[in-house]
Structure 1
Amino acid sequence: MKTGDCDILILPGFAGSGEDHWQARWASRLRTGRVVEQADWHNPDPEAWRSRIVAAVEEATRPVVLIAHSLGVVAAVEAASRFPKDVVRGAMLVAFPDIETCQDLPASVRSFAPVPRDRLTFPTLVVASRTDPYCSYERAEEFATAWGAEIVDAGEAGHINIASGHGPWPEGMMRLAGFMQTIN
């Protein structure tokens, strides 16, 4: 599948993605990409976040590919059972935060727990770092396996955000291009 053949829904995490974050940059570069806005990026409400994602999928006019980061990953996985059948064709889930065990996350983020472990019904790529302060690589692997996802080892990449030096993140864009070729 080509990016022009689908609606690309970009799902930021806690506090959103500032203009220098790779997600914001991708939204401006991908012709069919758009950020799914949340009412409150700093005080996330699990049901409100899930509902906005489901509504965005329902409003899509073409097949959907999700690109989620951090808490956006959790919200996407939680919303997945409510997606219309066969609309979401794939998901790239980056820097999953272990909201069940990581105490360094705000209480509002941890309120999304527990994270579903149901197998996802669409091809999924989980990109995980060996040095993410919010999730061990092994834990990300456990969730990827449960979801039926392929996992990509991003090496020592921190939380794959601006703070870890991932502004434009060209390696991620290359990974997305390869993933898109595997989607029908």
Structure 2
Amino acid sequence: MRISDTDILIVPGLGNSPPEHWQSRWQAKLSTARRVMQDDWQQPRREAWVNRLVEDVQASSRPAIIIAHSIGVITTVFAAEQIRGHVIGAMLVAPSDWDKPDLIPGYDLDFTPIPMTALPFPSLLVASQNDAYCDINRASSFAEAWGSEFVDAGDAGHINVESGHGPWPEGLLRLASFLSKLKLGTQ
């Protein structure tokens, strides 16, 4: 499959992805990529974030591939049934575990309980051994429940700028490998 045959939807996490974040860099490099924009990046609300993702997926002119990070992963999982048939695959990176009490003090988000049912499209979940926002065993449980291929990225933190993942070339290689397994029309 060629990227030009798809719409790549970049789904950032809390606070959006700054220009030096791998998601922003990939968006600039991938010709069919666009960011799912949210009205409030600092105080996300599940219904608003899910609705925006669903709208953007449905507005796609080609089969969609989602590349999500952190709470963007959780947004994707909540939206999964509504985007069935439009999304042909999702790369889910460093999910944040909002079922964990006080994940980030001061945030009272309505992203719980996190669904633990199979996704209706192929997915790849990349997680880190030392991510402060999601224990590796919990990430593995997500992958198993969602039917995702699981990749242990080692000690990679939250796989963001703060953990040294600006361009993240290893991630691009993972994406290319994942895309090579997808087929148009396969949900």
Between the aligned residues of both structures, percent identity stands at: 50
Could you say which residue in structure 1 is the equivalent of 2:146? 147
SS of equivalent residue, structure 1 residue 181: helix
Could you say which residue in structure 2 is the equivalent of 1:82? 82
Tell me if the contact between 1:100 and 1:110 (Cα under 8 Å) persists in the aligned partners. no
Could you say which residue in structure 2 is the equivalent of 1:59? 59
Note the C-alpha offset of 1:101. Answer: 1.2
Tell me if the contact between 2:91 and 2:125 (Cα under 8 Å) persists in the aligned partners. yes
Tell me if the contact between 2:128 and 2:156 (Cα under 8 Å) persists in the aligned partners. yes
Q: Gapped runs of 5+ residues in structure 2?
A: none
SS of equivalent residue, structure 2 residue 162: helix
SS of equivalent residue, structure 2 residue 181: coil
Tell me if the contact between 1:44 and 1:109 (Cα under 8 Å) persists in the aligned partners. no
Task: Determine if the alignment matches structure 1 residue 128 to structure 2 residue 127.
Answer: yes
Note the C-alpha offset of 1:105. Answer: 1.6
Shifted more, 45-54 versus 93-102: the winner is 93-102
CA RMSD of aligned residues (A): 1.1
Aligned residues: 183
Could you say which residue in structure 2 is the equivalent of 1:26? 26
Q: How does 1:3-18 map to 2 (within 5 A)?
A: 3-18=3-18
Note the C-alpha offset of 1:118. Answer: 1.3
Structure 1 moving runs of 4+ over 4 Å: none
Cα shift readout 1:145-166 (whole Å, capped 9, x = no counterpart): 0001110010000000000000
Instruction: Find the aligned partners of 1:74 and 1:125 in 2 and give their Cα distance.
Output: 14
Instruction: Find the aligned partners of 2:132 and 2:162 in 1 and give their Cα distance.
Output: 11
Note the C-alpha offset of 1:43. Answer: 1.1
Note the C-alpha offset of 1:92. Answer: 0.2
Tell me if the contact between 1:21 and 1:168 (Cα under 8 Å) persists in the aligned partners. yes
Note the C-alpha offset of 1:109. Answer: 6.0
Q: Gapped runs of 5+ residues in structure 1?
A: none
